[in-house]
Structure 1
Amino acid sequence: MLDIKWIRENPEALDKALAARGARPLAAEIIDLDEKRRSVVQRLQEMQSRRNAASKEIGIAMGKKDTELAEKLKAEVSEIKTAMPTLEAEERAATAALDDLLAGVPNVPLDDVPVGADEDANVEIRQWGQKPGWNHPAKEHFEIGEALGGMDFERAAKLSGSRFTVLTGAFARLERALGQFMIDMHTSEHGYLEVSPPLLVRDEALFGTGQLPKFSEDLFKASEDRWMIPTAEVPLTNLVAGEILPAEELPLRYSALTYCFRSEAGSAGRDTRGMLRQHQFLKCEMVSITDADSSLDELERMTAAAEDVLKKLGLHYRVMALSTGDMGFSARKTYDIEVWLPGQDTYREISSCSVCGDFQARRMNARYRAKEEKQTRFVHTLNGSGVAVGRALIAVVENYLNEDGSVTVPEALVPYMGGMTRIEKAK
């Protein structure tokens, strides 16, 4: 959520940022609602102040035995008490209207974010590695997985419908190996604390990270007050909700390997075959909680940690700076890491690392305080995939395909695969 004081002082900057994101101007509407709310609050405060003063004056009048004045003051206090509930209701309604509007306003992009309507305006920052140099034909992961007997989409559909996969044998182990490899790397090499969080969260957790109220259609609701997490960003970031952290404890870095659940609303017809766009998928998440001065450096560090996964797996990738029109709701700046998939002859996103500034912290009321200072400041939050396990599996299968249809296991995963160096057709 944006700071209302900043909006009052920078209405043009807000509308410019909204225009860059492809949204309509809102500054005038927000300021109008804010002025109405402040007017009601001022009247209410004046009324409360007068009630308190009149109550004291009653005591003075009674002490002087001025009954007439005392009765007049009592009538005034009674009138104020009668009027206050109406004004308090106005204040609650005005605050709710302003909060509802602010809750739907996206974060303001940083100045160096490419301006554009969609992914076509994204800018390549760097590449690493090389595309496979073999001469045999490339295949898509589902062709390879079905031929080797490790991916079953028909039985998954029988169990759960579309956008699910049953992995068996070496493919099931490969998924587990990738997840363990990633979480081990981030905790032992990159300084993240491993967390095993709940996969069900309350409304306020999803509000804190920005999924609610605007993106409820992208989520799965499990019960009246519980939602399946769309990403472990939600529980990990909300670990500090409502807290005041000592500045010397920052940064906090959390990592979790969890299943995630997304409805994929609006993606009908896209990536319907295979494992690219699933309702349920495994992902290794990274979250950082920093002070206000460190968050941009932390974004570079987090992105490098995600890249390190692909480097150790020997997978060619590129890093893209997302445009204003392609960034997520809560982000100020985002890097997407796109891995090369020979079967599709294209790059596909496998990690997204974002810095959110204090946007989520304001929604969660998460703050920090420096030593010997009374004033608190909102923390800055970052999140990134380190990386999406299912898409890493796809990338490994397609990039390590052999001419005979088998798949070589990347060296980094061999210990996690029990020494297996090649995935062959299941017997």
Structure 2
Amino acid sequence: MLDPKLLRDNPDKIKNMLEARAVNFPLDELISLDKERRDLIVKTDEFRKKRNEVSLEIARKKKAKEDASELINQMQAVSDNLNRLEQDQIKTEEKFTKLSLTLPNMLHESVPIGKDETANKEIKKWGSIPTFDFQIKDHIDLMQNLDLVDLERAAKVSGARFYYLKNQLVRLNQALLQFALDFLSEKNYMPIQTPFLINRHAMEGAIIAQDFEDVIYKVEGEDLYLIGTSEHAVASMHTDEIIDGKRLPLRYAGVSTCFRKEAGAHGRDQKGIFRVHQFEKVEQFVFTKPEDSWQEHERMLSIAEEFYQKIGIPYRVMLLSSGDLGKISAKTYDIEAWMAGQKNYREIVSCSNCLDFQARRLKIRFRDRTDEQPQYLHSLNSTLVATTRTMVSIIENFQTKDGHVLVPKILQKYVGSSTI
């Protein structure tokens, strides 16, 4: 949610943002609703003041044993008008809030302007693309040959894009999670395992819910949704709180299973474990003061880069364009890992600064002293590791001529072997 002052003082700035994002949004309607609700607040306050004045005058007349019938009639008219205005105010506020919750975040000045991913900007590359002196396979063939996954039985019991992990792939999955938690603990992140289900209010605080209706799973008959990432649960855990500014930044290492419908995926992504409905993830999530958020954003990216450098996965960093950027983010970096079997870079990390967008929706504020006016903090999130996608890159990049997979050195103590 944006600061309403921006809507009133600089609507052209919002209009330019919408054009850059190529988002069709009824901005004029929102501006009109904002004016209407503010006018109703003024009128309602005036009628409340009038009601109090008439009430006092009625009491005075009755005490003086004077005729107050005309004032009583006037009081009834004032009360009727006040009730009508209060109902109009409630309805207008609801319309304004509902519409304002769908308005995207402002863009950072460094974000490239473009209609889609073709306008994304490559920032850097790391690592050497592996070369092979044999015919390589993709992760699907390698996993099935090594009896690491059962996709057919998973499809039988759960449907497409589910899986049974087996044998050493279970250990590799757990190794990535444990290494990620150890790694972030060294960076002063607090490990936190979140609920897998949250209510609508929490979900709407973290995301623009109507844009995710086809992505998130809802529990039938209950106000509960399966999380698509621990970010949603971590973002909302401090709802309606005023945090001591001396505690900031709060850095969380959120670990969870994630659930996504992944509508629209196609090709080989449907058959392997790159794009699936359920996976484990460790997420960086940070609450910080506004003046520190851009420095924190770069820090989170560097931490994610260091993680993949330690594993030894080649990658590139992409700055997302306005047309490819999520609506709650002001700026996002993606890390795309090299997938040898696909001969392509694929996204494995998304690192975003949401400014005060989520904090306003969830009413999360901070202050350094008790006599200060609370202000909204900033929230940032970044994948550290989504295990299935990272395992795809490891399996394809570290495959051997005899059809096995070398375990990256940093993970060997967790897996318990050097080869799968």
- 1:17 matched residue in structure 2: 17
- 1:81 matched residue in structure 2: 79
- 1:72 matched residue in structure 2: 70
Give distance in 2, aligned partners of 1:230 and 1:411: 30
What are the equivalent positions in structure 2 for 1:283-302 lying under 5 Å apart? 283-302=281-300
Letter in 2 for 1:240: H
Give distance in 2, aligned partners of 1:417 and 1:210: 36
User: Could you say what the CA RMSD is over the residues aligned between the two structures, in angstroms?
Assistant: 1.4
- 1:62 matched residue in structure 2: 62
> What is the CA distance between 1:119 and its match in structure 2?
0.7
What are the equivalent positions in structure 2 for 1:22-171 lying under 5 Å apart? 22-24=22-24, 26-65=26-65, 67-68=66-67, 70-171=68-169
For the 8 Å contact 2:200–2:224, the answer to whether it is kept is yes
Give distance in 2, aligned partners of 1:25 and 1:259: 33
Gap runs ≥5 in structure 1: none
> What is the CA distance between 1:91 and its match in structure 2?
0.7
Deviations 1:39-98 (A, max 9, x none): 222211111110011111223333444x23x32222211221223222211111111111
CA 1:352/1:247 → structure 2, altered by over 3 Å: closer, same or farther? same
> What is the CA distance between 1:270 and its match in structure 2?
7.0
Give distance in 2, aligned partners of 1:249 and 1:262: 33
Give distance in 2, aligned partners of 1:104 and 1:256: 26
Deviations 1:279-317 (A, max 9, x none): 001111110000111111111111111111111101100
> What is the CA distance between 1:269 and its match in structure 2?
5.2
Q: Which of residues 198, 201, 208 is equivalent to 1:201?
A: 198
For the 8 Å contact 2:25–2:103, the answer to whether it is kept is no
- 1:226 matched residue in structure 2: 224
Letter in 2 for 1:111: E
Give distance in 2, aligned partners of 1:37 and 1:211: 22
User: TM-score scaled by structure 2?
Assistant: 0.97
User: TM-score scaled by structure 1?
Assistant: 0.95
Give distance in 2, aligned partners of 1:385 and 1:245: 24
For the 8 Å contact 2:407–2:418, the answer to whether it is kept is yes
> What is the CA distance between 1:416 and its match in structure 2?
0.1
- 2:406 matched residue in structure 1: 408
- 2:337 matched residue in structure 1: 339
> What is the CA distance between 1:256 and its match in structure 2?
2.1
2:200 matches 1:190: no
Deviations 1:197-252 (A, max 9, x none): 11011111101101424322211112411111100001111121110001111000
Bigger shift: 362-371 or 131-140? 131-140
2:322 matches 1:324: yes
Deviations 1:80-138 (A, max 9, x none): 12232222111111111111111111111111101111111000111111111332223
Give distance in 2, aligned partners of 1:198 and 1:323: 32
Give distance in 1, aligned partners of 2:240 and 2:43: 30
SS at match of 1:422: coil
Report percent identity of matched pairs.
38
Give distance in 2, aligned partners of 1:168 and 1:270: 20
- 1:360 matched residue in structure 2: 358
Q: Which of residues 353, 372, 375 is equivalent to 1:374?
A: 372
Give distance in 1, aligned partners of 2:43 and 2:162: 58
CA 1:202/1:133 → structure 2, altered by over 3 Å: closer, same or farther? same
2:382 matches 1:384: yes
CA 1:372/1:25 → structure 2, altered by over 3 Å: closer, same or farther? same
> What is the CA distance between 1:422 and its match in structure 2?
0.7
For the 8 Å contact 1:15–1:25, the answer to whether it is kept is no
SS at match of 1:407: coil
